[in-house]
Amino acid sequence: MTGEPQWLDEQEMQAWLRLLRVVMLLPGALDRQLRQDAGLTHASYMVLACLSGAPERSMRMSELARVTATSQSRLSHAVAGLEQRGWVQRRPCPQDGRGQIATLTDDGVQVLVDTAPGHAAKVRSLVFDPLSPSDVEHLSAVAERLVTQLEADQTSGAAGAGSSST
């Protein structure tokens, strides 16, 4: 990168700082609710929720890491804890034997059934109740553009760093 930096203008800085506060405060608030209601971290809940929506409630660990925006090592740790509770099972990937497939168990489904109403209520109260329907539409569009850019950046950064088969 050469030349003078392109500093954020006042409006961009205000938006950036507000977004940072949301990014920092929201996970903690959701984590507190899930720990209190189910003894779960938000990361573990995301694993269960993603698996519940996957075909046969199963997903390759590398794909699960991508959709939960979690590192492979952090995901492995979270899934190990879920396995100990009987909520997730892992098995070798039948296609290549190197990767692993995580599967949501019936007990894991029941945890989601029990936990989802309180979690949805917390998400609604923190994120959607303060917004108008138009705000929600704009939030969704902005979030999609940001996720697309972030995933593209992550992919281009990972291309030079090698890949994992998990």
**Phi first, then psi: what are they for 71, rounded to 5°?**
-65, 155
Q: Which domains does the chain have, with CATH numbers?
A: 22-155 (1.10.10.10)
Residue 58 three-state SS: strand
Three-class DSSP category at 85: coil
Alpha-carbon torsion 30, 45, 140, 147, what sign? positive
What span, in angstroms and rounded, lies between the C-alpha atoms of 157 and 15?
26
pLDDT value of residue 113: 95
For the record, the structure tokens of 47 come out as: 């694993």
**Per-residue confidence in pLDDT tens, the chain, 166 aa:** 568 899 999 999 999 999 999 999 999 999 999 999 989 999 999 999 999 999 999 999 999 999 998 899 999 999 999 999 999 999 998 888 788 999 999 999 999 999 999 999 999 999 999 999 999 999 999 999 999 999 888 877 665 554 444 4
